[in-house]
Amino acid sequence: MESPLVYFKGLFSKGITHKGLGQQKAESPFRAMTRKEAGDHVRSWRFIVMLILIALTFLGALYVSLSNISAATANINDPDRLFVYLKLLTTSDGTLPTFHVFISFLGPLLGIALGFDAINSEQNNGTLTRLMAQPIYRDNVLLAKFCGALIVVSVLFLCLVLLMIGGGMMITGVLVEPGELLRILGFVAMSILYVGFWLSLAILLSVRFRNAATSALAAIGIWLFFTVFYRIIVNLIMSAVLPSSGPLPPEDLLSYNNLLLFLLRLAPSQLYTDAATTLLMPSVRSLGPLTMEQMAGAIPSPLPLKESLMIVWPQVTGLLAATTVCFALAYYLFMRREIRT
């Protein structure tokens, strides 16, 4: 007869939990690991610190927008003045940036904080070897790490948006329109995808480097490069490419502007900023330079949601492709890694 310890170890390896007398319910290992990762993130101090930072910036941006919402909705020259709840996310008096600007800055830090030690800390503590001894696949480990953190991020952003909508209803007394709600949900999905890219990059670095401090410094270095130095490098390149004598013809100026936008959009933050601006400002009709022929006869009016989604589709696919590439590289390196005791 086997001992109780061996019996309960077998139940854990098979993913079986007891509910009541004699009632059993099978649970997949992936679901159990995802729930465990989400719970660990919620209880960790790093997530609590990032939660406080994002909540404070959100409340500050919301307070500024609510203080200036009357002037923003009274401007007859603004085609977006009727979208009250979109104005809550885009209105500012210059003292604080808008919320999507804060997310473009704090979102990478949130993704890095949740994923920089996803694998190497498990291996350094010796828990990865015991985890691999269970009848689970290696790809389930990576997927559970990624999905558990992404669930926490999704719940965080959804709670902030619901708080914004509830506060707006209490203060302004205006009901949210379905078009506004869909645009806000699209902005939330874009923010989750943006944080998911940095999360997958952090997981890739945690697989590549054995030391958690090394992976954290590498991730922060990549973030600083795209945030601070990349725009400087692009401006230097464009200054060297542009001719220094005389004004440019309109065709050459248009081509140089397209080249500048192409180089800037290699940065994930630029992709997120373009997509968030288009979703939250329905009057944005293009993310690139327009000629006078294209602008002739155009009436400044809000675009339908479908057309705004068509404008931001390249940005969405770019972030999604970058996230997939990072996760695929992490999967490749993790599958080839030899895990020793």
Tell whether 328 is covered by a domain.
yes
- Greater model confidence, 125 or 34: 34
Confidence of residue 244 (pLDDT cuts 50, 70, 90): low
294 domain-assigned: no
- Is 14 a residue whose pLDDT tops 60? no
pLDDT in the model for residue 288 = 61
* Closest C-alpha among 310, 278, 276 to residue 80: 278
Predicted local confidence at residue 218, as pLDDT: 94
Q: Which of 303, 232, 311 is nearest to 274 (CA)?
A: 311
Q: Is residue 288 part of a domain?
A: no
Q: Which of 293, 287, 258, 263 is nearest to 273 (CA)?
A: 287
Domain that holds residue 161: 24-241+249-283+302-336
The mean predicted confidence, pLDDT, of the chain is 81
Q: What is the pLDDT of residue 8?
A: 34
Half-sphere exposure of 264 (CA within 13 A, CB side): 18
pLDDT tens for each residue of 158-197: 998 888 888 888 887 778 888 888 999 999 999 999 999 9
Better-scored residue on pLDDT, 20 or 332: 332
- State the Cα–Cα distance between residues 174 and 250, nearest whole angstrom: 46
How much is the pLDDT for 246? Answer: 61
Number of domains in the chain: 1
For residue 124, is it within any domain? yes
Gap between the Cα atoms of 195 and 107, Å rounded: 5
Q: What is the pLDDT of residue 221?
A: 94
State pTM to two decimals.
Answer: 0.85
Give me the mean pLDDT over the 118-125 stretch. 84
What local confidence, expressed as pLDDT, does residue 196 receive? Answer: 94
Give the tens place of pLDDT for each residue, 72-82. Answer: 777 666 667 77
Nearest alpha-carbon partner for 118 in 152, 143, 137:
143
Residue 70 in any domain: the answer is yes
Q: Is 216 exposed, middle or buried (0-12, 13-18, 19+ CB in 10 A)?
A: buried
Residue with tokens 């209880």: 43
313 lies in a domain?
yes
Is 289 among the domain residues?
no
Whether residue 19 is contained in a domain is answered as: no
Percentage of residues in the chain with pLDDT exceeding 70?
83
Please compute Rg for the chain using Cα positions: 24
Quick one: three-class SS letters along 132-151?
HCCCCCHHHHHHHHHHHHHH
